[in-house]
Amino acid sequence: MVIGAGHNGLVAATLLARAGWSVEVLERAPVASGAVGSDTTVRGYVHDWGSAFYGVLHASPVLRELGLDRRVSWAHTSTPVSAVWDPDQPAGVLRRSAEQTAAGLGADGPAWLELFAWWQRLGRPLFDAVLGPVGAPLPLLRAARGLSGVREALSTVRTMLEPVEAFTSQRFSTDAARLLLAGNATHADVGIDAAGSTPPALLLAMAAQEHGMPVPVGGASVLAAALVEAAEEAGVVVRTSTPVARVVVRGGRAVGVVTDAGEGIAVRRAVVADVAPHVLARDLVGEQHLPGEWLASLRRHRWTSGYFRLDVDLDGPAPWRDERLADSVVVHVSGDLDEMAMSQAQVRRQRLPDLPQLILGQQDRADPTRVPAGAASLWVECHCPARPVDEPEDWEQRFADRMIDRLEVHAPGLRSRIVDTTVVSPLDLQRRDPNLVGGDVGGGSAAPDQLLVFRPVAGWSSYRLPVAGLWMCGAASHPGGGVHGLCGRNAARAVLRAARLRV
């Protein structure tokens, strides 16, 4: 039994079913796949309401294992990612090949090529090892083969702890290259001046350099449908509009679930939950069934700021000053490194940022089926506290205006092309999917004290919960947020191993 048909729940269910288990997935929403989905407006614009970019999925073994490479038609442009900060400076632009990217980075071209060569030799196998089950020896040994010696091992560990501001400033001399890399850190919640901000920036930038920024033709719902198709093909039964109210625990073991409608379903082997762990513990399991020490440790799991989103329908493409942004799937609209750090600090202090750091998507440039002929759309998001302090009632509309003002600097005349704008606050996201606590899209902070053996509870990174037969597989577990399916994959493998060993 799997609770929650987020992509991690579906991946876990598929792998368990392929191992011969009889698996049912119960999903509260009317549509499966959690924060992988899209809506179509009455005017015919398709908007991804949650995740939008799948470079990391393309770096994950789950893509091929579930046949998502062939079940979905993936669209690209020649420019996966770019970064703008000063409207009078040329943008930093990442092209489909490292050589093309380097050619556009002037003096920093050789350093970009060197970084990508490092990624191919050592970085990628290292991330593969780190994102797999914690402590699994074989992937670590494979990664270690790329090391030239102990000094490089130490230097690599240091890089993983380094603030990305330091990493990128030392490596590159131009703002274009620095921001092209550091802009990727805005997807995680770790400040660019804080320890541990280099790994997410490196992973996202290098995955984009290696795989581009593929988007599903037709919208994220097409990927959602493909995930369900893979599960059903393996024999999984997916039931939507079926919220689970309770996990039944008897004699210290999870033996079944009860739905909101009062239906009781017995479970023979395991309950695997794609549910935020504090909700699982408090509402579904009941804290009386869980050890106090484990609960105390779980309370230390920090959720982070939410995402504030705009879906902007345009009557034609955005009028970028730098024309190279015309087909960039992702545009990071930031300030310089100083402004980025200050803006992130404001959000951490529960304040609306004066200069929002925008992550902008132009999926329709790769996939024109998402907009009416000749039209265009923007998918815009930025970190934002769920309940900002010292703001009036109408803060959402005012903040949305601030975001558009920021875009107008880089695309003068943008406002006159807007046909419609939908504003989505962090709490709107949580209402749509309760796993997005306060609009946190990554299942809790990705700071180093919440990763690996610490995620979600120190010493409980193996997907087990302290109730026999109960497991977790959502983004709050290792290795965390993003559409890569690795939480679900690792969890399914752990469940199968435990069943084999009868532990």
Residues that bind ligand FAD (CB under 6 A): 3-9, 26-29, 34-36, 50-53, 56, 243-244, 274-275, 307, 309, 381, 429, 433-436, 441-442, 474-475, 481-483, 487
In a 3-state reduction of DSSP, which class is residue 498?
Answer: helix
One-character DSSP codes across 172-200: -SSHHHHHHHHGGGGGSSS-TTSTT-HHH
CA nearest to 3, candidates 212, 213, 285: 285
Tokens of 363: 């999926």
Instruction: Give min distance, CB of 57 to ligand FAD, in A.
Output: 6
Nearer to ligand FAD, 111 or 205 (CB): 205
Of 3 and 340, CB closest to ligand FAD = 3
Which residue lies nearer to ligand FAD by CB, 102 or 272? 272
Burial class (CB in 10 A: 0-12, 13-18, 19+), 477: buried
For residue 154, the minimal CB distance to ligand FAD (Å) is: 31
CB of 172 or CB of 307, closer to ligand FAD: 307
Reduce the DSSP state of residue 468 to 3 states and report it.
Answer: strand
What is the rounded CA–CA span in Å between residue 105 and residue 420?
36
Distance of CA 222 to the CA centre of its chain: 18
Upstream peptide bond of 479 is cis (omega within 30 degrees of 0): yes
The 3-state DSSP composition of the chain as helix, strand, coil percent (nearest 5) reads 45, 20, 40
CB of 334 to ligand FAD, least distance (A): 17
Residue nearer to ligand FAD on the CB measure, 244 or 318: 244
- Report in angstroms how near the CB of residue 80 gets to ligand FAD at its nearest: 12
Considering only CA atoms, give the Rg of the chain.
22
- CA–centroid distance for 202 within its chain: 14
CB closer to ligand FAD out of 6 and 104: 6
Q: Report, in Å, the least distance between residue 42 CB and ligand FAD.
A: 22
Cβ proximity to ligand FAD: between 56 and 371 the closer is 56
Give min distance, CB of 360 to ligand FAD, in A.
12
Collapse the DSSP code of 308 into the 3-class scheme (helix H, G, I; strand E, B; otherwise coil) and give the result: strand
Residues composing the chain: 503
Q: Which residue has the tokens 């993983």?
A: 160
What's 424's DSSP letter? E
Smallest distance, ligand FAD to C-beta of residue 189, A: 12
- Contact 264/258 with Cβ under 8 angstroms? yes
Minimum distance of ligand FAD from residue 271's CB (angstroms): 11
Peptide bond into 456 cis (omega under 30): yes
Q: Which is nearer to ligand FAD, 337 or 447 (CB)?
A: 447
Q: How far is the CB of 362 from ligand FAD (least distance, A)?
A: 13
Nearer to ligand FAD, 105 or 225 (CB): 225
**What CA–CA distance (Å, rounded) separates 254 from 273?**
11
Q: How far is the CB of 33 from ligand FAD (least distance, A)?
A: 7
- CB 155, CB 149: distance < 8 Å: no
Give phi and psi for 9, each to the nearest 5. -60, -40
List strand residue ranges (DSSP E) for 356-467, in order: 358-361, 376-384, 418-424
Mind spelling out the 3-state secondary structure of 486-497?
A: HHHHHHHHHHHH
